[in-house]
Amino acid sequence: MGFACYELRDLLATLRTWLTERGFSVQMIDETRFSQTDGMLPGVMRLSLLVAFILVCMAAGRAAAEDADERASREAKQLFSIMLAHDPECCTAVPQPFAPKRCELDASWSEIKLPEYVARKHFGFQLHADLSASTNTKFRDVIDPQRKFDDAFCTAEEKKNFHDDAMREFQNNNSPFVHISHTSFSFPIFDTSYRKAIVIFSRWGSSQRDKSVGARRAPFYGHTDALIYVKTGGEWKYVANESIEEN
């Protein structure tokens, strides 16, 4: 296939501009060296065009990956704004907004995987492996975008220190009640059309009261569920949950 030299000159100039705008440092043949007459494309020019084409493909692939992560982040923020308007495990007649206590949350997304049987049931995936979502979106940016619960997010070490202090206060009779709880969320796993999403929600805890308020020790409790949401009318809505047995 033949190319006119002036067509190649214009094409390379366009490619240089496109790549430069996307952060690439581009060195190409100076388009002013091309003749104004038509002719077959020399070998070096063909090579330059091939390299330019490869760079375009690489840039397009990077842009597509960035767009996919941005879309997932945007959908996750919308989903959690709906989910956390009511506590996922509300125990009252009237749903209450999610209000985590001190050190109740991790500092990052839960790494609990979605079991393959749940993915197969709700997504129709035919696979033999559990799933987890990969994301660059920070946990707190989604869970607490307005920074209302500064003391709720703790590292494992901070959480242990807080729990130890609370238990010590209780055992020294400085506190009549102690309650330890933990809540975690996974980043949502979306279907390809962003019409269905699954979040792994986990909560566990225990509590004790001393004799002055009626001695009672609540047994340790805990559970992990897959919360299933669908998007209808541009809004995420809860539809079901699946109990998950952790190994």
The token pair at 68 is 């996919």
Confidence of residue 9 (pLDDT cuts 50, 70, 90): low
The candidate with the shortest Cα–Cα distance to 239, out of 177, 195, 206, is 195
pLDDT at 161: 92
Out of 39-43, 55-59, 80-84, 196-200, pick the least confident.
39-43
- What six digits make up the tokens of 205? 């805890």
In 10 A of CB 10, how many CB atoms?
Answer: 13
What is the pTM (predicted TM-score) of this model?
0.66
pLDDT score recorded for residue 26:
55
What are the boundaries of each domain within the chain? Answer: 5-68, 88-243
| Residue 235 reports pLDDT greater than 80 | yes
Q: Tell me the two tokens of residue 65.
A: 């990956």
Give me the chain's average pLDDT, please. Answer: 76
- Residue 205's nearest CA partner among 233, 247, 177 is 177
CB 151 within 8 A of CB 107: no
For residue range 35-71, list pLDDT tens digits in order: 444 444 455 555 555 555 565 555 444 544 457 789 9
pLDDT, residue 23, reads 63
pLDDT digits (tens, 9 = 90+) for 126-179: 666 677 888 999 999 999 999 999 999 999 999 989 888 888 877 777 666 677
136 class by beta-carbon count within 10 Å (0-12 exposed, 13-18 middle, 19+ buried): exposed
How many angstroms separate the CA atoms of 29 and 41, rounded? Answer: 13
Q: Which of 84-98, 122-136, 195-209 has the lowest mean pLDDT?
A: 84-98
| 56: Cα separation from own chain's centroid | 28
